[in-house]
Amino acid sequence: MMTEVRHMGLEEVVKHFESLDDPRCPVNLRHPLVSVVVIALMAALAGANGPTAIAQWALLKQEFLLAALHLPYGIPRQDVFRRVLMLLKPAAFQACFANWLRALRLPAADRAGVGQEVLAVDGKAARRSHDRRHGLGALHAVTVWASELGLALGQVACADKSNEITAIPEVLRLVDIRGAIITIDAMGTQKAIAKQIVDGEADYVLALKGNQETLYQAALDYFTEQLDNDFAGVKVRRYQTNETGHGRQETRTYFQLPAPKGLPGLEQWAGLRSIGMVVSECIRDGKEAFEVRYYISSLRASVRRFAHAVRSHWGVENGCHWSLDIIYREDESRIRHKHLRENVAWLNRLTLSLLKQHPGDESTVMKRRCCGWSDEFLLEVLTGTKP
């Protein structure tokens, strides 16, 4: 009975990889590509962080895997997992998950009661994955993270942070952004990116800093002028939040104004309708910190939506990047083959998304441990159903 349940539970998962072209030489090909990929996915859920760990986990789970997957020649060895993850092109590998992610996204939005999704676009480096000897810099991956849903919807690797400008348009093309609010930090505040978002039938909230010096200074000056006049003569919308926890007390005040007609280059920014300012006052251990940030946005007057978008963007740091570094130890990864490290990075993001969809009360750390301890729990997370 358990064998039947395992096969039934994995059928839908296996289907996602049936169209994936096998990049290996057909001579002496023994292990089905689909089975190798599904094992790698399950091992990543259970705590494996590379080909060696994947192979070791698979060997220890031999009875379970032989019953669940088509493995005519037994459990693959480490070199099989390594060769497959090295040869698979990251774009093709990631494309296999597109339908799966779409299927996860709709019910996740319903559960969260989300009307207009916030998709945070941000980059993260795996600092120890460099290979100076062969001229390979550390992996820097730009991810689209659905903050309210806990889903990684796309990933594109680039050489370093300065190359995010070219990676962001690529990763946005991988995702259905219609109807969403796209949030990006100052690096991605580019006219072409704003146009791509608007053309994709989405809204944007883009941070302003020194890389857009003229626009940044104009927004700062305009808000300063209006503050001095107590916003007389302009339609300002304000919203304030207060948060207490982890030894700190933080007050955030959000201001949203219609984009002034005299804003430099206004007509060059597709869909630009409003500008925003966030004033953050934080008291931690008796010390006070004060920060002001500025934004441009295609959102119409709705300060709560603006505030929600800004707050949700920070979720990519807490919900995605922090988890990848602390739970997956990604920052310590020494995988130094270009395709291999990109494919493992995507496995990390996908499995993190699956763990976050699981309805249990356990922490993400504990859920990942449970995947390693219990075959039934692993299948429950992987398939989204009770075994």
Distance, C-alpha 15 to centroid of its chain: 24
Task: Give the domains, in start order, of the chain with CATH numbers.
Answer: 2-88+338-383 (no CATH), 98-323 (3.90.350)
Alpha helices in 174-321 (DSSP H): 191-199, 213-228, 303-313, 315
Q: What is the pLDDT along the chain (387 residues), one digit of tens a residue?
A: 344 434 446 888 888 888 899 999 888 899 999 999 999 999 999 999 999 999 999 999 999 999 999 999 999 999 999 999 999 999 888 888 887 888 889 888 888 888 889 999 998 877 666 566 666 666 788 999 999 999 999 999 886 666 788 899 999 999 999 999 999 999 999 999 999 999 999 999 999 998 888 999 999 999 999 999 999 989 999 999 998 877 778 999 999 999 999 899 899 999 999 999 999 999 887 788 899 999 999 999 899 999 999 999 988 888 899 999 999 988 877 777 788 988 999 999 999 999 999 998 999 999 999 999 999 999 999 988 765
Q: What is the DSSP string of 193-224?
A: HHHHHHHTT-EEEEEE-GGGHHHHHHHHHHHH
Q: d(Cα 52, Cα 20) in Å, to the nearest integer?
A: 23
Q: d(Cα 260, Cα 223) in Å, to the nearest integer?
A: 11
Q: Is residue 125 within 8 Å of residue 139, measured between CB atoms?
A: yes
Q: Is residue 58 within 8 Å of residue 65, measured between CB atoms?
A: yes
Q: Is residue 329 within 8 Å of residue 44, measured between CB atoms?
A: no
> Long-range contacts: 233-238, Cβ < 8 Å, 24+?
234/258, 235/301, 237/301, 237/302, 237/303, 238/303
Q: d(Cα 2, Cα 40) in Å, to the nearest integer?
A: 22
Q: What is the pTM of this model?
A: 0.89
**How deeply is 376 buried, as exposed, middle or buried, from its count of CB atoms within 10 A (0-12, 13-18, 19+)?**
middle
